[in-house]
Homo-oligomer: A and B are copies of this chain.
């Protein structure tokens, strides 16, 4: 019997293989494949570790025709002391779709999830914002902030004026200090009114971005709401939006920002917008909202890309 030579990569080895600009078309293709049914994506697995208010998601699937499939494990323990253990962690398994053997264990500690989430946000913003959009407001200062900032800068073909707002201005300043050229926005209402693109990455359970603050022509990429009960946007803002785009319609309706919608028939999927089979923004004065809950197709694509690079 042939020996199983299993690849094992740690976080720094994986980090060295993650080139955001090169990954963008890979993640775009993943959205398109998911929306067109070219990926077998079973229901997401989930377990709660109640004693420590933690949980674990298992996202897995197989792009039809691929010689591997991927199982992505992501844990979230928000009360971890960051000095001892990161609040988000994870590992991906890559297995042969022809023999069932384990091909690789990617100990990314959640990095691939953060990177593909940043890329998803920038891909949605680029696909849906006005062609001249350049002012970006990032709402939230958590671990996703630098990934959204990096990905937006890498994917747009023009300089972006990026500001960050946080409930804690100190944390917003820390994000700005760590990302050159970033402004701190202290007035959320003013920041929203002036932004062409608003990227929300908070864990808010009550809407934080108000309808009356947002100008016509704005695009919003909402990334924070990834579980039942989480909401970042006014329900009125969703009702008013001309264009509602989901990474996965079923996931977003179930536990994303769009779970607040009374009528979901207007939702189109990002993959369908990217491949031209559904319309995104059709005029400069429209309000567009993308709701991203994160899909296994992204996890499969980034794991494959790390292995191939």
Contacts and interface: CB of A to CB of B under 8 A. Distances in A.
Interface of A: 1-2, 4, 6, 8, 40, 42-43, 45-49, 51-52, 54, 56, 58, 60-62, 64-65, 69, 71, 73, 75-77, 80, 82-89, 91, 93, 95-102, 105, 107, 109
A47 B40 contact: yes
Give 6 closest A-B pairs by Cβ, nearest first: A75-B100, A85-B99, A77-B100, A89-B100, A49-B97, A45-B45
A95 B64 CA distance: 30
A71 B59 CA distance: 12
Contacts of A54: 97-100
Contact of A83 (B1, B76, B84): B1
A73 B92 CA distance: 12
A100 B56 contact: yes
Contact of A99 (B1, B62, B77, B98): B77
A95 to B, nearest CB: 6
A86 B52 CA distance: 39
B100 A1 contact: no
Contact of A95 (B61, B73, B97): B73
Contacts of A75: 95, 100-101
A97 B51 CA distance: 8
A58 B56 contact: no
Contacts of A6: 107
A49, A51, A77, A98 interface centre (most CB from chain B within 10 Å): A49
Nearest to A45: B45
Please state the number of chain copies in the assembly: 2
A65 B61 CA distance: 31
Contacts of A62: 47, 49
Contacts of A45: 42-43, 45, 58, 60
A69 B56 CA distance: 10
Contacts of A51: 64-65, 97-98
Nearest to A110: B100
B49 A84 contact: no
A93 B58 CA distance: 12
Nearest to A85: B99
B69 A49 contact: yes
A75 B101 CA distance: 8
Contacts of A77: 98-100
Given A42-B45, A52-B98, A89-B102, 17 more contacts: A1-B85, A8-B8, A47-B62, A49-B98, A51-B98, A54-B100, A56-B69, A56-B95, A71-B73, A73-B93, A73-B95, A75-B101, A76-B100, A85-B100, A85-B101, A89-B99, A105-B105
A195 B163 CA distance: 78
13 contacts: A1-B84, A8-B8, A40-B48, A42-B45, A47-B60, A49-B69, A49-B98, A51-B97, A52-B98, A56-B100, A75-B101, A77-B99, A85-B101
A51 B56 CA distance: 30
